[in-house]
Amino acid sequence: MIFREAIIQDIPPIQWVRNSVKENILSDPSLVTDTDCEVFLTQRGKGWVCEADQQIVGFAIIDMQERNIWALFVHPDFEKKGIGKKLHSMMLKWYFDQHSHKLWLGTEPGTRAEIFYQKQGWKAIGVHGKGEIKFEMSREDFSP
């Protein structure tokens, strides 16, 4: 597997991965456009992808404006292979090497994502959006 920084040409396979997931499903896939992805990759933040057999199978994107994890998804056929954990670690290491501000994210309660983030050291601090759990991570709590 190859882990690398995401580029604009990765947006179609990123969208394919995002729309293939079984949890945290978008109610309307058109809510996250290719233009949104481009803005988050080039203006608001940065992203990383994982390739397996020359195909993107996972990605992570951080939003520097909101100090937020905008996305972290792995295609269902490639789950439980450490891809999400590696993308998560790369993203947070990059961020905390440059900043000391806390990061936050929201995810649906009762999902594997909730458990994943807890295991990575995220602290639940309340509710966000439409009933999502809001998590925070500090530089001190991050362990690459």
Residue-wise pLDDT for 48-98, tens only, equals 999 998 999 999 999 999 999 999 999 999 989 999 999 999 999 999 998
Q: What is the DSSP string of 37-51?
A: HHHIIIIIEEEEEEE
> Is-contact 17 74, C-beta < 8 A?
yes
Residue 45 has pLDDT above 70, yes or no: yes
What pLDDT shows up at residue 26?
63
Residue-wise pLDDT for 98-108, tens only, equals 888 999 999 98
> Is-contact 136 118, C-beta < 8 A?
no
What is the average per-residue pLDDT within 36-54? 93
Confidence bin at 120 (pLDDT 50/70/90): very high
Judged by DSSP in three states, 81 sits in coil
Strand partners, 72: 60
What pLDDT shows up at residue 99?
86
Q: Which two tokens stand for residue 11?
A: 């947006």
The alpha carbon of 51 is separated from its chain's Cα centroid by a whole number of angstroms, namely 15
Strand 123-128 versus strand 68-74 pairing type: unpaired
> Is-contact 133 110, C-beta < 8 A?
no
Owner of token pair 């994943």:
116
Residue 19 has pLDDT above 90, yes or no: no
- The CATH architecture one would assign to domain 2-100 is 3-Layer(aba) Sandwich (3.40)
Residues whose CB falls within 8 Å of the CB of residue 57, separated by 6 or more in sequence, listed in order: 1, 17, 50, 51, 74, 75, 77, 78, 83
Percent of the chain topping pLDDT 70: 96
Q: For residue 37, give the nearest of 13, 65, 66, 57 by alpha carbon.
A: 13
